[in-house]
């Protein structure tokens, strides 16, 4: 038996049933020393604290818990409880701690896993230094509905991109050594299918077939488990009648047994008694019984386990073996984190300058250039600019939702970024903050107008869904008000969620999707506007033409009467085009790239694939412009005919490559069993013989393809 398991069994063998149940209990941290809480710790009734005092930490100004108090809570656990088991402190360190990164959906546009991983390593160093052992991040929920406020917290509509981002963030948080003092246990959430909430309404039901779950919603969790995620959070939603919190199939049969997850599952805030509301439990005791028997190990703040598990065990409704399994999982994570050896807050210096540099790079790579008529961008270094719109000087909303420890004073605003980096520019600006009623009436004396449009951070995140994603009338008026001045217009979109912009698109010469860029907003925007950074961001989600198109996503199956073109189904809308405004994977550059590869047909046998043989595809990326730049080359696969209908395209590889002006670089892509397979109707991952099309390009419309025959 491994040394870790020996230690676990030794501790477990000494525990009373009350102490075992106490490990499953997470309570909200007190803000000041509280003797009642200390007493509960001494009794062994508290295994964990969530460092938050609100059910919606993403929407409230989070209270910071002092380091002294955290150390005191831990001291009581370690020195004054019978077995001295340390408590584990969890906090929503979602997309940054003091240095706030682009929110996940914005960062996914970078398609740069290595940089995301480096930035999340920085996040862990800042958070662990403040006493955080465990973060409730990354959120890996695939989402196809931008009405859902939480789409911004996840990686978008693609399972492959979502899997790569999940791994990058988890490896960043957890580092090379979980026991290192600057490592933080990650939490893949919300397991699972939360992004399919009906109508984009938060906490609502989802109706997802197992076929769709296994091919779209589950892959990122499989990757998270394979990447070593120490915890998983069960989702609020029910899947076709089964609340995730009380689904033994999904929590135990699939996550713990099939995927081999050996950490612990934590409930979402109050999710266990919420199964009463969902209609599967009559009271808290039954909620505790159902969720615990389903395999939900730790309870966040609602204390149903603490109140009812002992009685349920005595009545034979819950087994002590199951209790021991949950306690083992929690002890395993605490031991892996080294909490028994180093229970108190570490002391090391944090290089905030490096963190800001990395955050600036990630923000720059996350910006997506959607339109650049007559190459109006990049701007001249001595431009005369009119800046207008509510985000010109904003330092709060550009951080996005779920920012508990970020400081708006640290944010570089758009105005500061331009002035600070390009002082020779003549800038006149009119800052119409959100609360101002009158239109933004700038004097527009500049040669070019840069409009900083957006919405407040309270429009996205938890419990912040919308019924329509059309850009607001106020923003439309700002654009039209500027348009009549007959100066070129650059529209910067500071929207974390996809927004329908058909009402402003015709008036803008350039359109740049900025999302929520975080602390380094102004510097990153200035870098891209003036060409210090050549934009390379690609859309991680489809930008719908209008709300009525939702759901619209690239990796759908073809309409039975699809005519031609990507979205041209036979019967489309009378009142709206078939195609989205901009497709998945799309993003312009200041450079021009030509992507080529050998298009000759290829064959490979199923046996060779099963033995691990792969198809090598050498890609040439030529920069046919005078500007150095980075291109994200994407490889898509289509299984032409299979036992189940397969998507029109599926992203299976991508690589960002930097190519100097008038130069060429080569990339090697490999296509093998994993890239060609799918989960069939029986839930088995298979590759089926037959024809495949392999597309390579720089968005999901890539039209250069090679045919592959698997025989
Ligand atoms: C919230 C969220 C979850 C968060 C948790 C703790 O309700 O759903 O993402 O981590 O509670 O704040």
pLDDT at residue 440 above 60?
Answer: no
pLDDT digits (tens, 9 = 90+) for 596-652: 999 888 999 999 999 999 999 999 999 999 999 999 999 999 999 999 999 999 999
Model pTM score? 0.98
pLDDT at residue 437 above 90?
Answer: no
Residues 6 or more apart whose CB falls under 8 angstroms from that of 186 comprise 135, 137, 138, 169, 170, 173, 174, 224, 229, 230, 231
Q: Which helix (H) or strand (E) holds 314?
A: helix 304-314
* Residue 574 DSSP code: S
Compute the chain's Rg from CA coordinates: 26
pLDDT at residue 379 above 70?
Answer: yes
Is 232:188 a contact under the CB 8 Å cutoff? yes
Residue 247: exposure state from Cβ atoms within 10 A (0-12, 13-18, ≥19) = buried
Distances (CA, A) of 89 to 8, 78, 445: 20, 14, 54
pLDDT at residue 438 above 90?
Answer: no
CA 23 distance to own-chain centroid: 29
Residues 6 or more apart whose CB falls under 8 angstroms from that of 1 comprise 9
pLDDT of 441:
54
pLDDT digits (tens, 9 = 90+) for 189-223: 999 999 999 999 999 999 999 999 999 999 999 99
* Residue 178 DSSP code: T
Strand order in the sheet with 299-300: 134-135, 88-91, 48-50, 25-28, 299-300
pLDDT of 384:
96
pLDDT digits (tens, 9 = 90+) for 344-372: 999 999 999 999 999 999 999 999 999 99
How many whole angstroms from 402 Cα to the centroid of ligand 1?
A: 10
Q: What is the mean pLDDT of residues 244-252?
A: 98
Give the residue, by CA position, lying nearest to ligand 1 atom 3.
Answer: 268
Is 105:165 a contact under the CB 8 Å cutoff? no
pLDDT digits (tens, 9 = 90+) for 273-282: 999 999 999 9
pLDDT digits (tens, 9 = 90+) for 408-428: 999 999 999 999 999 999 999
pLDDT digits (tens, 9 = 90+) for 125-176: 999 999 999 999 999 999 999 999 999 999 999 999 999 999 999 999 999 9
pLDDT of 72:
96
Interatomic CA distance for residues 584 and 699, integer angstroms: 6
How many whole angstroms from 633 Cα to the centroid of ligand 1?
A: 35
How many whole angstroms from 269 Cα to the centroid of ligand 1?
A: 6
Question: 626, 417, 632: which is closest to 530 by C-alpha?
Answer: 417
pLDDT at residue 573 above 60?
Answer: yes
Atom of ligand 1 nearest to the CA of 189: 9
Q: What is the mean pLDDT of residues 109-131?
A: 98
pLDDT of 402:
97
Q: What is the mean pLDDT of residues 321-344?
A: 98
pLDDT of 571:
65
How many whole angstroms from 671 Cα to the centroid of ligand 1?
A: 38
DSSP string, 498-561: --B-TTTGGG-SEEEE-----TTHHHHHHHHHTTSS------SS-B-SSGGG-S--TTPPPPTT
Atom of ligand 1 nearest to the CA of 269: 11
Give the residue, by CA position, lying nearest to ligand 1 atom 10.
Answer: 136
Ligand 1 binding residues, C-beta < 6 A: 52, 55, 57, 92, 136, 189, 268-269, 462
In 423-504 the beta strands, taken as DSSP E runs, fall at 426-430, 448-454, 489-494
Atom of ligand 1 nearest to the CA of 139: 9
pLDDT digits (tens, 9 = 90+) for 249-280: 999 999 999 999 999 999 999 999 999 999 99
pLDDT of 652:
98
Q: What is the mean pLDDT of residues 516-533?
A: 98
pLDDT of 433:
66
Catalytic residues: 268
């Amino acid at each position: 038996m491994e040394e870790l398991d020996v230690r676990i069994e030794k501790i477990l063998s000494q525990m009373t049933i009350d102490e075992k149940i106490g490990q499953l209990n997470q309570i909200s941290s007190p803000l000041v020393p509280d003797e009642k809480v200390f007493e509960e710790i001494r009794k062994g009734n508290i295994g964990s604290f969530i460092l938050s005092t609100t059910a919606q930490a993403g929407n409230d100004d989070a209270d910071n818990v002092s380091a002294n108090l955290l150390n005191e809570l831990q001291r009581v656990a370690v020195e004054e409880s019978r077995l001295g088991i340390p408590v584990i402190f969890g906090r929503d360190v979602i997309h940054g701690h003091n240095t706030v990164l682009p929110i996940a959906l914005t960062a996914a546009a970078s398609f740069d896993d290595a940089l995301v991983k480096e930035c999340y390593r920085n996040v862990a160093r800042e958070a662990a230094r403040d006493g955080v052992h465990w973060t409730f991040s990354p959120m890996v929920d695939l989402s196809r509905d931008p009405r859902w406020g939480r789409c911004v917290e996840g990686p978008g509509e693609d399972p492959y991109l979502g899997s790569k981002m999940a791994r990058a963030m988890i490896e960043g948080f957890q580092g090379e050594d979980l026991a290192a003092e600057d490592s933080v246990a990650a939490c893949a959430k919300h397991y699972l299918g939360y992004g399919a909430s009906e109508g984009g309404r938060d906490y609502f039901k989802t109706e997802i077939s197992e076929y769709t779950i296994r091919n779209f919603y589950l892959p990122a969790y499989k990757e998270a488990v394979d990447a070593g995620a120490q915890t998983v959070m069960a989702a609020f939603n029910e899947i076709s009648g089964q609340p995730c919190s009380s689904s033994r199939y999904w929590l135990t049969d699939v996550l713990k047994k099939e995927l081999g997850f050996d950490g612990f599952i934590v409930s979402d805030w109050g999710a266990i008694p919420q199964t009463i509301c969902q209609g599967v439990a009559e009271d808290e005791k039954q909620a505790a019984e159902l969720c615990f028997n389903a395999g939900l190990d730790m309870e966040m703040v609602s204390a149903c386990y603490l109140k009812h598990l002992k009685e349920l065990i005595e009545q034979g409704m819950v087994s002590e073996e199951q209790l021991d399994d949950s306690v083992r999982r929690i002890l395993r994570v605490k031991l892996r984190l080294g909490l028994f050896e180093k229970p108190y807050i570490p002391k090391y210096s944090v290089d905030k300058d490096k963190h800001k540099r990395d955050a600036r790079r990630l923000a720059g790579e996350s910006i997506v250039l959607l339109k650049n008529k007559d190459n109006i961008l990049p701007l001249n270094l001595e431009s005369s600019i009119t800046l207008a719109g509510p985000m010109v000087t904003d330092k709060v909303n550009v951080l996005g939702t779920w920012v508990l420890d970020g400081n708006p004073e640290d944010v570089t605003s758009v105005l500061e970024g331009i002035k600070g980096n390009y002082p020779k520019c003549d800038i006149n600006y009119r800052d119409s903050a959100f609360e101002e009623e009158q239109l933004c009436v700038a004097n527009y004396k500049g040669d070019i107008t840069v409009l900083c449009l957006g919405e407040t951070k309270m429009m996205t995140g938890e419990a912040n869904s919308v019924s329509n994603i059309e850009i607001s009338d106020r923003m439309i008026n700002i654009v039209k008000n500027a348009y009549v001045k007959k100066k070129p217009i650059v529209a910067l979109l500071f929207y974390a969620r996809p927004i329908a912009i058909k009402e402003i698109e015709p008036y803008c010469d350039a359109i740049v999707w900025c999302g929520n860029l975080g602390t380094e907003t102004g510097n990153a925007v200035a870098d891209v506007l003036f060409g210090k950074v050549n934009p390379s961001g690609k859309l991680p989600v489809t930008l719908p033409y209008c709300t009525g198109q939702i759901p619209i996503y690239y990796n759908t199956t073809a309409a039975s009467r699809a005519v031609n073109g990507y979205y041209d189904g036979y019967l489309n809308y009378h009142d709206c085009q078939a195609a989205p405004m901009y497709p998945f994977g799309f993003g312009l550059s200041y450079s021009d790239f030509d992507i080529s590869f050998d298009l000759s047909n290829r064959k490979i046998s199923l046996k060779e694939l099963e033995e691990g043989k792969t198809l090598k595809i050498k890609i040439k990326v030529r920069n046919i412009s005078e500007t150095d730049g980075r291109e994200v080359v994407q490889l898509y696969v289509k299984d032409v005919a299979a036992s189940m209908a397969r998507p029109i395209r599926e992203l299976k590889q991508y690589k960002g490559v930097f190519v100097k002006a008038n130069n060429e670089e080569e990339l090697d892509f490999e296509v093998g069993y994993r890239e060609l397979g799918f989960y069939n109707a029986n839930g088995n991952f298979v590759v089926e013989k037959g024809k495949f099309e392999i597309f390579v390009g720089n968005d999901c419309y890539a039209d250069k393809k090679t045919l592959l025959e698997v025989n």
